[in-house]
Amino acid sequence: MQNKPVWSAKQKRCYHRLRSMLCYWEGNGYQILRVDLTSANDSKAEDLRKNFRALRRKIESEFGFSDIEDFVVETSEGNGVLHMVWAWKQKAGFRDKPFYIPQKWLKREWEKIHGAYRVYIQKYDKGSARSRSRVAGYLVEQYLTVGQSSFVRYSYSWRRSLGFPLVRYWKHFKFYWLYHARVDYKEMLWLWDRFLQGERLPDVENEGRWFLTIDKMRGVEILK
C-alpha cells in the first residue's frame, strides 16, 4: 500500500486559503465554477495569466458577470495550466441568473485569445465542510504533490472578495481562540467557518473586538 505524501508548508497554505475562500463564497450567496485553462504549445509562460485576465474581461462584458472572483493554481504541465475556482454573486437589486459559460464558447474564445482550445468547466455544487475539504484537498494533492515540479504558484482574489487580508486576520483569529479563549483546534476551525459564512461570533469576556461579521471586519484598522 502506497503511503500518502506528506504535505509541504506551501501545500498546507494553499489548502487552507482555498478551503477558506470556498467557505466564504458558499456562505455568502455566490455561485461557483471549476475551470481549467491550458496553454498553447508555442506560448510564453508569462502570457498565460495575462490572457486569462483578458478572457475574464470578455466574460464579464459579454455575459454580464461583473467582478468575477477566483482562486488560481498555476502548474507547469505542458506549457502551463491554470486550475481554478471562479465565484460570482449578483449585485443587490438585480434579478439573479445562473453563473455559467458554455464550454463551446469558452473553448472558442480561449483559442482566439491564447491559441489553446483545451478547457474544462464544471458547476461546483455547494456542500458541507467535508465536501469543501475534499475539493481543496483534491487540488492540492493533484497538482502540488511533494517532489513534483509542476506547481508554480497560487493566487486568489482576497481583496475583491473579502476587502481585508485573509492571512493576517487568520493569525489574529487563531491566536485569540486558541490561546485566549482556550478552545481546542477543532472548535476554532468550526468558528472560523462560521465567521467566513457571515455569522457574528460570540464575544468572549467582552474582549472579542476582532471577531465581528465580515462586513464590520472590513473597517478594522489593524488589518489594512
Which amino acid is present at 152? V
Are 52 and 147 within one domain?
Answer: yes
Residue 4 lies in a domain: no
Among candidate residues 114, 130, 160, the one where a domain is terminated = 160
Query: Does 206 share its domain with 156?
Result: no
Output the pLDDT for position 184: 92
Range of the domain at 58: 9-160
- Domain membership of residue 90 (yes or no) is yes
pLDDT at 175: 86
Compute mean pLDDT per 10 residues along the chain, 224 residues long, and list them: 65 90 92 92 82 95 94 85 93 86 96 92 82 80 60 85 85 84 90 87 58 63 49
Q: Are residues 188 and 79 in the same domain?
A: no
Q: What is the CATH number of the domain that holds 151?
A: 3.30.70.1910
**Same domain as 179, residue 148:** no
Q: Domain boundary at 129, 160, 191, which?
A: 160
71, 113 Cβ separation under 8 angstroms? no
- H or E element at residue 86: strand 81-88
Q: How many domains are there within the chain?
A: 2
Q: Are 74 and 82 in contact (CB under 8 A)?
A: yes
Residue 205 falls inside a structural domain: yes
What are the Cα distances from residue 132, in Å, to 21, 27, 56, 118? 10, 12, 24, 26
Question: Are 92 and 70 part of one and the same domain?
Answer: yes
129 shares a domain with 40: yes
Read off the C-alpha cell for 165: 487580508
Q: Give me 140's grid cell.
A: 492540492
Whether residue 2 is contained in a domain is answered as no
- Looking at the chain, how many residues does it have? 224
My answer on whether 131 and 203 are in the same domain is: no
Query: pTM of whole model > 0.95?
Result: no
Rg (CA), the chain: 19
pLDDT at 95: 83
**For the residues of 119-140, what is the DSSP string, one character each?**
EEEEEPPP--HHHHHHHHHHHH
The answer on 70 and 137 residing in a single domain is yes
